[in-house]
């Protein structure tokens, strides 16, 4: 299953319900994130999955920015921990550019 989740939390539940075409009750779910920043999206997604009675839920994130967290949530597997700086590269972009760079901090 592949879901596209946006930062706009008001769309999160509708997007999940619409895009999830399979029964995930009792399944183990791993969320793969590019970056955990404020944590709002990840927390809402975890809560939504728990409401669906999944067996377990874990999160793997390429980048974790704990300084910017506004909710209590953590990724289980983290590639790098970043300071509160603007990042591009390794798939993170600015205006659809710079995705192919090695991670750069601005």
> Of 23, 37, 76, 95, which is the active-site residue?
37
Active site residue 93: no
Nearest Cα neighbor of 91 from 69, 64, 62 is: 62
With beta carbons less than 8 A apart as the criterion, state whether 98 and 89 touch: yes
With beta carbons less than 8 A apart as the criterion, state whether 88 and 60 touch: no
| Residues annotated catalytic, as ranges | 37
């Amino acid at each position: 299953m592949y879901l596209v989740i946006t930062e706009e939390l008001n769309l999160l539940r509708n997007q999940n319900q619409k895009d999830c075409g399979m029964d995930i009750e009792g399944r183990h779910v791993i969320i793969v994130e590019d970056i955990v920043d404020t944590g709002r999206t990840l927390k809402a997604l975890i809560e939504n999955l728990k409401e669906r009675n999944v067996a377990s839920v874990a999160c793997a994130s390429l980048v974790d920015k704990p300084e910017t967290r506004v909710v209590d949530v953590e990724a289980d597997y983290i590639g790098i921990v970043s300071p509160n700086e603007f990042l591009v590269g390794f798939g993170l972009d600015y205006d659809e550019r710079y995705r192919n760079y090695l991670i750069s901090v601005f």
